[in-house]
Chain A
Amino acid sequence: MMAAALTLICVGAAVFSPWLAPQNPFDAAALDLNAAFKPPAWVEGGEHAFLLGTDNQGRDILSTIMHGARISLGVGLASVALALVLGVSLGLLSGYLGGRLDAFLMRVADVQLSFPAILIALLIDGVARVALPSERHDEIAIPVLILSIGLAGWVHYARTVRGSTMVEREKEYVQAARVIGRRPLAIMLSHVLPNVMGPVLVLATINIGTAIITEATLSFLGVGVPATQPSLGTLIRVGNEFLLSGEWWITVFPGAALVILVLSVNLLGDWLRDALNPRLR
């Protein structure tokens, strides 16, 4: 119950940030450099208008966290959705049809797994930057980010689904469907898929957390979201520089927000898996 409430608050705050946040941190015109480096409201020198303080450009930390979380959550969900669709499809085909298709796909997967996900994401991102004119970089930065994290992550789903599919394929209910006359695609989608989705959904929700952290890492490294739309990772990086000079709030609050966001997403995943299991109904 507590977990559900927590998750709801976090996700709600993130999703509805444009309406809930006290300030729009992405609007350059609304910023006032005079308000820079204000500490949190309960510390001496802080103001109530800026509950968690401001950063080096006068942006309200609370608002920036909410907007940043929105971006992080959006990128996390979209990239996981991409990886999920791609990985589950390839895993199903590979596991059910076997043969050369399976051998080929698994070798591709093996090769990809030998590179760390971050590197792959960097690679795809780098290729995109080179391929596209620089004026458009900021515009498409987020879709490219989603694509790179998604493509970096399909392998685990494919592997898991392939293994489960190979087990289910030998089970008699699948053979019964073949006897009845169903075609392979129909069997894969209506019979096998519901029985292999369970572990994948759990993986997916954990991976939303990982995807969010990957995005944060990329933004921290400066190759993720553009600087004008900072996500939690960007904030952490920015705040890092000021950590030791006393303005601790710029990095600590975004960091805490990241942790809480990932935690609540994982709890949501656990609940989802149990809710979907017919045996526990």
Chain B
Amino acid sequence: MILEVDHLKVQFPTRRGTLTAVDDISFSIAAGEVLGVVGESGAGKSITGMAVIGLLDPPGRIAAGEVRLEGQRIDNLPHEALRRIRGRRIGVIFQDPLTSLNPLYTIGQQLEETILTHLPLNRTQARERALSLLREVGIPAPEARYGNYPHHFSGGMRQRVVIALALAAEPRLLIADEPTTALDVSIQAQIIALIKRLAAERGAAVMLITHDMGVIAETAHRVAVMYAGRIAEIGPVRDVIHAPRHPYTAGLMGSIPRISSEQRRLVQIDGAMPRLNAIPPGCAFNPRCPKRFERCGVERPALLDAGTSRAACWLHAST
């Protein structure tokens, strides 16, 4: 296991009380595996990613649980130690390639800086490595573009540079937070394929955070569906998408328009995801759930076995 997250809880103390953005979630990612973390806005998926890499904006903090990278606990490390791990063993790809790159430095400089910080190479070796990375991510004529600034690249090219940066120090874990959302659909496909291939080649674990189920279907091996700070369902991608075990997942899949389908109206889940300060007791989804019964409003379900996946839903209680 590269990444293990155990009963993670992230809270934000505010003037009006403590908000729990992530409430007791657990998952793990093995080497070479891509885990998709999918959910709508406010579900807590980005915050989970930030918590794993230790980049939570204060006053947000990890209130409970553990995060372990290759067996070693990283959630309780001091800043400096975590910073070293972040670049060296964890690579991050954010959504907006424009702001992920420093506009004042050439991409060559940025790559070299990252490489030199984390790997014991000299400048020439670092440059060689940077060029080969650029080639790997598909930047044509990397020698010529080495001295270019970020604004000289298009959105898709910039994202490739960001991926190169993330992979520069040979990380064991790659966290991608909405890596293709800001890109056109044809470029999206290229970037998805790239991430998938590079991760597989390096045996890295990938945590792919997105709201786009299509991207998950193409890229991930397993998927965790988040709702109101909790995991509603987790399991192999094919099973979760084609045979969802949680009513929310089913509703979500039904509301996604598909080209091949004959339907004229989409499945609609009435209402909206509860705000963090108004999460109902019991199962967070119960007010909107077409299958709810009494227990749902009282007791919060743990992730229960439901075939090949697990779902936090009392429909699957064995008793």
Direct contact of A and B (CB under 8 A): no
Point out residues on B near A: beta carbons under 8 Å.
Answer: none
